[in-house]
A = this chain, B = another copy of it.
């Protein structure tokens, strides 16, 4: 089988690119950025989740009791840059999700290159994240993050 294109097709429907933010007083700019890639499946499809984990060769699988789902997730930015981003550059998504991926890839690259530690870099990341299709509720909205960032003295 042509596993890479199967994986892209599967991810078209099932995967999620996300950029989340947390407030962290310890950080210079006060805002932590966390890009993550994930795919969840009903517990009967654990084998499928394992296949995806094994294909990318990075990330972890955990069981969510609440949803009775297995969730495969990659949170490490170097793993995202080494395995996830290159896959979708070579075997691109077709749907609307492709645009999410492009923003996600740029955020991952900015974080990988430590650009999230400068005000301009972090503002760019907040802007990109705000253009992504939210998976559920956003914890912090663009305006709020930019307002918090504006208060920080560099």
Contact = CB atoms under 8 A, between A and B. Distances in A.
A134 interface: no
A2 B6 CA distance: 9
Contact of A9 (B9, B45, B47): B9
A128 interface: no
A72 to B, nearest CB: 13
A95 B8 contact: no
B44 A96 contact: yes
Nearest to A43: B96
Contacts of A1: 5, 91
A16 to B, nearest CB: 12
A1 B51 CA distance: 21
B48 A12 contact: yes
Contact of A6 (B6, B44, B51): B6
A13 interface: yes
B94 A51 contact: yes
Nearest first, the 10 A-B pairs at minimum CB distance are A9-B9, A13-B13, A9-B10, A6-B9, A13-B14, A2-B5, A2-B2, A5-B5, A48-B95, A5-B6
Given A8-B9, A12-B14, 20 more contacts: A1-B5, A1-B91, A2-B4, A3-B5, A5-B9, A6-B9, A6-B12, A9-B9, A9-B10, A9-B12, A10-B10, A10-B12, A14-B14, A41-B95, A42-B96, A44-B96, A47-B94, A47-B95, A48-B94, A48-B95
